[in-house]
Structure 1
Amino acid sequence: MASKNLQNIILLYNIILICGLCLVYSKAELPRFEHPIKPDGSLSILVVGDWGRRGAYNQTEVAAQMAKIGDQVEPDFIISTGDNFYEDGLTGVDDPAFEESFSNIYLGPSLQKQWYNVLGNHDYRGDVLAQLDPILRKKDSKWLCLRSFILNTDVAEFFFIDTTPFVDKYFTNPKHHKYDWRGVLPRDEYLFNLLKDLDTALKESSSDWKIVVGHHTLRSAGKHGITFELEERLLPVLQENNVDLYVNGHDHCLEHISSPDSPLQFLTSGGGSKAWRGNIRPWSPEELKLYYDGQGFMAMKLTKLLFLHFT
């Protein structure tokens, strides 16, 4: 890293197959939440994406491994990078897929923490408002899903961003899929306001670490590769505001790509269930620090130094 030397980031790759919640006022338009850290000043997180398959494609096995690692690292909360319910999101707040793909899968004691979720493209194929409905928190108190929001801790600030509306093909060539754009249209206005609010929030942030979470890839050697709409519109905002990490799902793999021209690091955690074996694009070995094409998740421990564990 430039502003934060890369030697201050220690990456440990162990590949295994496979709170208090308070909404507070923010000057920016994005909702803001606060989450406490451990008494020793550290913060532990699990990150998983692309998971909701009613236990199929090793989702149950990944959840079991998450629980085991969770017992060791004692996560303060869990981040989902989207595609929470396959193939077509939820049909409504009473869809049994919520329990069958979430509540009945992530049963380990260490996973009974707050989950902060963003939406993926598959979630937009269903009833988006159902995933955002507070009634799901009544069904399972650890669930929290918004389109975009900010999570502040004393160690780092997380900016969760709704990336699906950026992607042109979901609007111009949806094929046989139907997307739920309620709350998004008119699209240009929605994206303009989102980027403006994100830029404002990042500029206001005094956190040592700025971490942006979205579903779609910005840099990836996986099947989806670069999301060019995000590269054009989101990436400049991240670089201008010295964001440290962009964390995403969408590609069903685990990877870490470094940026050659800025401190920004790209982390993919999309191995929550179905993996895409052998699907890797050529990438500069100087930038591609890790690529694993199987199931898994990411464990992250933050202090004044940043420790990342891929599992």
Structure 2
Amino acid sequence: MASLSSDKTIHTSLLLISAWIWLSSVSSLAELQHFQHPVKPDGSLNILVVGDWGRKGRYNQSEVAFQMGSVGQKLDIDFVISTGDNFYEDGLTGVDDPAFNESFTAIYTAPSLNKQWYNVLGNHDYRGDVEAQLSHILRQKDKRWLCLRSYTLKAEFVEFFFVDTTPFVDKYFTHPGDDTYDWKGVYPREYYLSNLLKDMDEALKKSNAQWKIVVGHHTIKSAGNHGVTEELVEQLVPILEANTVDMYINGHDHCLEHIIESNSQIQYLTTGGGSKAWKGQIHPWDPEELKFYYDGQGFMSMQITQKSVYIAFYDIFGRVLHAWNISKEQYSSA
């Protein structure tokens, strides 16, 4: 009997090992989709970036949207990027939730904003029906809308890598408080994250783009309220540094911010001022790294060519608060 029990134990162990090997070899649960976007005939690409906005026009969301429309017209933008927290407080209840129209379609009405929107999910979006934001039904309701968990976007000389950051944050799983999160499509979490990191690393390695820009919701380096997301520092930053990523763009902190990491020279750009801002919430930061911090509402523009990237931050009056020109040869203030 002891021998039979031992044989069963060995057999079970072999099955578990085989299952793990199979899971490791199959395509990732977070497998990245790839999109293409053309650049202008003159070889330029102009975009706007906004985050943390979906409040049905309140908290100056409408004012920010108005200025986005004005700047978008001047720059003749090609598309818009959203850094997440698209619908407050708790995402969408489903594809028929009127908040989609009230916070998106009916707010960003300027002709210049009638371009493709590339969106990522934020932690507040995960409090609702995640599949609703990912659904093709919303794309039918408003053709501008595109939201996936993680994906890449290539525009000739620049490639954007959109990463789903919410599942990285431990406290949403261990200490969610009164909040409920929609983790369908994420569990098993460890498998989801390991494959997402693998896919991101592989996509960055394969990219031949002059500029590599990663977009996520959560902060990595920030002097704002949320500050540093340690899980991303430990798991994502090594991949960014190993693949010479130029910029990481995020929301989450309701401010506008520009930090240059002193060692890697990665530009960390926070644009989470699409509606409600957190006045007076700034933590000490190395002034050699912190190039700009604004605790109010606003958004960011990027004008990209083969040789340079020009970034600018705007407030709700359309004033340029901070601008910076980045080239591959040197980093210089505008």
Q: Same fold per TM (> 0.5)?
A: yes
Q: Which residue, out of 285, 305, 308, partners 1:305? A: 308
Shift of 1:29: 3.4
Match of 2:76 in 1: 74
Shift of 1:309: 1.1
Match of 2:237 in 1: 235
AA matched with 2:298 = G
Instruction: Summarize deviations over 1:241-283 as a string: whole Å, max 9, x none.
Output: 0000000000000000001111211000000000001100001
- The 5 Å alignment of 1:82-93 reads 82-93=84-95
Q: Which residue, out of 199, 203, 206, partners 1:204? A: 206
SS of equivalent to 2:131: helix
Q: Which residue, out of 279, 282, 291, partners 2:281? A: 279
Shift of 1:99: 0.1
Provide the C-alpha distance between the structure 1 equivalents of 2:173 and 2:196, rounded to a whole number of angstroms.
18
AA matched with 2:35 = F
Shift of 1:207: 0.5
SS of equivalent to 1:33: strand
| Structure 1 moving runs of 4+ over 2 Å | none
Instruction: Summarize deviations over 1:18-62 as a string: whole Å, max 9, x none.
Output: xxxxxxxxxx93100000011100000100000000000000000
Q: Based on CA coordinates, which of the two structures has the bigger radius of gyration?
A: 2
- The 5 Å alignment of 1:112-127 reads 112-127=114-129
- The 5 Å alignment of 1:8-47 reads 29-47=31-49
SS of equivalent to 2:59: coil
Q: Which residue, out of 134, 144, 147, partners 1:145? A: 147
Match of 1:192 in 2: 194
SS of equivalent to 2:283: coil
Q: Does 1:294 align with 2:279?
A: no
Provide the C-alpha distance between the structure 2 equivalents of 1:136 and 1:105, rounded to a whole number of angstroms.
16
Q: State the number of aligned residues.
A: 284
Q: Which residue, out of 267, 270, 275, partners 2:269? A: 267
Shift of 1:155: 2.4
Provide the C-alpha distance between the structure 2 equivalents of 1:74 and 1:308, rounded to a whole number of angstroms.
15
Judge conservation of contact 1:42–1:155 (CA < 8 Å) in 2.
no
Provide the C-alpha distance between the structure 1 equivalents of 2:73 and 2:208, rounded to a whole number of angstroms.
32
Provide the C-alpha distance between the structure 2 equivalents of 1:276 and 1:263, rounded to a whole number of angstroms.
27
Q: Which residue, out of 82, 96, 107, partners 2:109? A: 107
Match of 1:15 in 2: none
Match of 1:49 in 2: 51
SS of equivalent to 1:260: coil
Q: Does 1:163 align with 2:131?
A: no
Match of 1:17 in 2: none
SS of equivalent to 1:129: helix
- Provide structure 2 residue ranges, at least 5 long, that are not aligned to the other structure: 1-29, 315-334
SS of equivalent to 1:107: coil
TM-score by length of 1: 0.91
Identity fraction in percent: 68
- Provide structure 1 residue ranges, at least 5 long, that are not aligned to the other structure: 1-27
